[in-house]
Structure 1
Amino acid sequence: MRQVQFLEAWSGGEAGQGPEQVVTLFRRVYGQEPEGVWSAPGRVNLIGEHTDYNAGLCLPIALPHRTFVALSPRRDHQVRLVSSMTPDACVQVGLDGLQARGVTGWASYPVGVAWALREAGYDQVGGFDMALASCVPVGSGLSSSAAMTCSTALALDEVFGLGLGGSDQGRVTLIEAAVKAENDMAGASTGGMDQSASMRCRAGKALRLDCRPGLTAMENVTQVPFDLKERGLELLVVDTQAQHQLNDGQYEQRRSTCEKAARILGVDNLRQVADQVSASRDPAAALQEVLDRLPDEVTRHRVRHVITEIARVDQFIEAFGRGDVHEAGRLFDASHDSLRDDYQVTSPELDLAVDVARAEGAYGARMTGGGFGGSVIALVNAGKSRDVAQKIADGFQARGFHEPRALAALPSSSARKEC
């Protein structure tokens, strides 16, 4: 049996692995020094899946694994981009006259941010040269795309003097540009949780993100202590390497089903229903009454997941906060089972990884991210991550699945300037 690969985070700072790699690439391609280096993290969502676009609650943490961009502004409206994944292929795009879906491939994400900022009225955003390198695994459900758009947004904010990156309210504007880039330019539907985590998480904290419309930047976020070491725990992340795709229609199909269900129920979003159910004397009966009003079994399954998942977020915060690791793990399990059975966004690889983690003593395990591939997380005792990950890898080899990769998730800091 092969030893499972653990993915280490690159160090930041002026002499760190990430900045050094991306500056070297920038120099080689453009023949000059960049104006600076910025980075943004990937994320793991602890619980609250497919709730953001239903105005619900979610609970991400930022990963120590980050995307680094070296960038300099240009005097024209041309954008040149290069990635360490394809260092000999420089992409060039003009911003003038650019329309939604006007760029394809990975370049649509960073170019989309510049386009979105210009669409929002920030006309001073012009062309730029950029090099990118990342240790966030691509296609893993750990939000490598948000790490790309958020690092770009923070870089453009500084070099073009937008003055947004220094405050929570300003960062919300950058988040909106990153979301628009993914949705409208790249065509990858996203509800905003990934970008909010990348821009607003803090080290040692989980981000309780309330996605109800109309909330201010100070109202929609609560920083929740998430000290794994204090509890004698580790959060294992296993990238199944089952390709994670959000632009194949499955994500949008579920989102549309939820929006249609809200219209049938006479509300703006399913969060309103979730709040009504939670506030009732008998939540189980209230939920069943809601489901009975829906026209078909598929819609009932989707809505049941959303309502119960929103409730699980605060239940997890309360359980972990009082040190009830078994209850916190049970909520992980309930979340995955709901995503598997009601929302139907898991895969054979995700389900096997969860089953093995549970069998190997994890307090709880669940898929994280949009699903249809990607990653799982497991709450395990300190020192057990590598053993559990190896058992998952052994199980994958026995089933003929791709070899998984693993990493340790520590709640880390948000997007920042490195040097």
Structure 2
Amino acid sequence: MTSLSASPVLTTSAWFVPGRVELLGKHTDYAGGRSLLAAVDLGHTVTARAREDRVLRVVSSLAEDAVELDLDAPAAAAPAEDGHWSGYVRTVAARLDANFPGMLRGAEVEITSTLPPAAGMSSSSALIVGLALVLIDLSGIAQDPRFVRAVPDREHLAEYLGTLENGQSFGELAGDRGVGTFGGSEDHTAMLCVPEGGLVQYSFCPVQREREVPFPEGHCLVIAVSGVEAHKTGAAREDYNRISLAAAEILRRWNLDRARMDPTLAAAVATAPTSAAAIAGLVAGEDYLPGRLEQFLAESERLVPAAAVALEDGDLEELGRLVDESQAAAEQHLGNQVPETIALQRTARSLGAVAASAFGAGFGGSVWALVPDAQADAFARDWEAAYLAAFPQHRGAARVLRTRPGRAAHRREVTA
């Protein structure tokens, strides 16, 4: 993939950034765990033209209002309403301006999208990635020595852009408050690093590619958008953060008990063959923590690698069994499923899907189903009809779409 640092400073820039499907890897990335990922052929196209001043103005096909920010006086701007999309724009601009002082240029930015918002395909992270990419292009940030040292490839770029969202520091590039969610870099990695038309297994903290996995020939993904919006901001932030903070609390107890400084839960588990059992002993009897640990261990250590092997072997029956187990753990231990996503997963399997699971942050969003191409259209119709019969209140917001693993983020020609 072309390095950003190989590109000259531009006056116009356009990128297509895909949404992503997390086949497996529910709430594992920020704890150093594994995920099995695909990009989809839906996404945001972000087009930017440099301005002479330091005003950033962003419009989106998904929003009625524009976001305008004077980069020389960001504090003077009206505060973003909690959960409003302008918060993502301000977060990207503030972090890039803080990490690379004086370099950020004003721009006119237009976003068009085929990606359903708040549907679990990470439209918000795609916005962060796309906006950061065009601003880096226009401002020459990729040629700055600090950027070159910190971001030598796309994996590092994904990890850095993840810290824009979660507020953490990245090497010498100091962090800020982010958008208030304590997530990882799974979404950003899927958008930037997946192989075209295939799946990829990554581990995180740091981002490490473990294997490429073939997508089953003659199959496609059918995705049901539940109509229950899966936000990671606003009122939903507390629910989302409870899951990530639980992983952090388990790690804190381990490090305190063993006088260690392991950076992630996955690193703690890897210290010895007996570590997982020892960690379980530290949280035994608690309300939420034992189940959270059990889910993490099953998902990251066993289900993700086993599903990759099943796909490599063409054993789709085994894949379906593994994915069912992942879904059950999300319902029982994470507690991040709603009646709509539970029903969609069950119905997909009853209609003959090879495998099906909710994905993303949870508390709404979407469910993916792996279906033979020849059956996909009829399956989609039946799935949608059954869902709307059970949840008629989501008519108009729910939808079913068909997609395949697509291409990672890439440049687009800027049209006049």
Pairwise TM-score range, normalised by the shorter structure: 0.7 to 0.9
For 1:78 and 1:348, how far apart are their aligned partners in 2?
A: 44
Q: CA deviation at 1:173?
A: 5.4
Q: CA deviation at 1:196?
A: 1.3
**Could you list the per-position Cα deviations for residues 91-138 of structure 1 after superposition, in whole angstroms to 9, with x for gaps in the alignment?**
211223546995442122233223212222253112111111111100
What TM-score, normalized to structure 1?
0.81
What residue ranges of structure 2 are gaps of 5+ in the alignment?
1-10, 167-176, 256-261
Q: Which has the higher mean CA deviation after the structures are superposed, 191-200 or 158-167?
A: 158-167
Answering whether residue 154 of structure 2 is matched by residue 171 of structure 1, we say: yes
Answering whether residue 401 of structure 2 is matched by residue 398 of structure 1, we say: no
Q: CA deviation at 1:273?
A: 4.5
Q: Which residue of 1 aligns with 2:404?
A: 410
Q: CA deviation at 1:362?
A: 1.7
Aligned length: 372
Q: Which residue of 1 aligns with 2:189?
A: 196
Q: Which has the higher mean CA deviation after the structures are superposed, 291-300 or 175-184?
A: 175-184
Answering whether residue 291 of structure 2 is matched by residue 301 of structure 1, we say: yes
Q: Secondary structure at the match of 1:186?
A: coil
For 1:168 and 1:379, how far apart are their aligned partners in 2?
A: 35
Q: Secondary structure at the match of 2:120?
A: coil
Q: Which residue of 2 aligns with 1:264?
A: 253
Answering whether residue 99 of structure 2 is matched by residue 120 of structure 1, we say: yes
Match of 1:339 among 330, 347, 358: 330
Answering whether residue 209 of structure 2 is matched by residue 221 of structure 1, we say: yes
For 1:198 and 1:101, how far apart are their aligned partners in 2?
A: 31
Q: Which residue of 2 aligns with 1:129?
A: 108
1:282-321 map, 5 Å = 290-294=279-283, 295-311=285-301, 312-321=303-312
Task: Give the residue type in structure 1 aligned to 2:66.
Answer: C
**Could you list the per-position Cα deviations for residues 268-295 of structure 1 after superposition, in whole angstroms to 9, with x for gaps in the alignment?**
4221344368x56xxxxx8565423314
Percent of aligned pairs with the same residue? Answer: 25
Match of 1:83 among 49, 60, 64: 60
CA-based RMSD: 2.6
Task: Give the residue type in structure 2 aligned to 1:315.
Answer: A
Shift in CA distance, 222/269, structure 1 to aligned 2, threshold 3 Å:
closer
What TM-score, normalized to structure 2?
0.82
Shift in CA distance, 417/122, structure 1 to aligned 2, threshold 3 Å:
farther
**Could you list the per-position Cα deviations for residues 54-103 of structure 1 after superposition, in whole angstroms to 9, with x for gaps in the alignment?**
1111121111001011211222221111112345x332112235469954
For 2:128 and 2:317, how far apart are their aligned partners in 1?
A: 37
Q: Secondary structure at the match of 1:386?
A: helix
For 1:336 and 1:156, how far apart are their aligned partners in 2?
A: 38
Q: Which has the higher mean CA deviation after the structures are superposed, 342-351 or 288-297?
A: 288-297
Task: Give the residue type in structure 1 aligned to 2:374.
Answer: G
Q: Which residue of 1 aligns with 2:30?
A: 53
Q: CA deviation at 1:179?
A: 2.6
For 2:278 and 2:220, how far apart are their aligned partners in 1?
A: 39
Match of 1:275 among 253, 265, 270: 270
Contact 1:226 / 1:411 at 8 angstroms: preserved in 2? Answer: no
Q: CA deviation at 1:300?
A: 0.3
Contact 1:101 / 1:186 at 8 angstroms: preserved in 2? Answer: no
What residue ranges of structure 1 are gaps of 5+ in the alignment?
1-33, 281-285
For 1:274 and 1:385, how far apart are their aligned partners in 2?
A: 40
Task: Give the residue type in structure 1 aligned to 2:399.
Answer: R
For 1:90 and 1:343, how far apart are their aligned partners in 2?
A: 36
Q: Secondary structure at the match of 2:119?
A: coil
Task: Give the residue type in structure 2 aligned to 1:264.
Answer: R
Q: CA deviation at 1:378?
A: 1.6
Task: Give the residue type in structure 2 aligned to 1:302.
Answer: R
Answering whether residue 129 of structure 2 is matched by residue 150 of structure 1, we say: yes
Answering whether residue 216 of structure 2 is matched by residue 233 of structure 1, we say: no
Q: Secondary structure at the match of 1:136?
A: coil
Shift in CA distance, 103/330, structure 1 to aligned 2, threshold 3 Å:
same
Q: CA deviation at 1:142?
A: 0.2
Q: Which residue of 2 aligns with 1:24?
A: none
Shift in CA distance, 113/408, structure 1 to aligned 2, threshold 3 Å:
same
For 2:179 and 2:246, how far apart are their aligned partners in 1?
A: 22
For 2:251 and 2:46, how far apart are their aligned partners in 1?
A: 40
Match of 1:94 among 70, 75, 78: 70
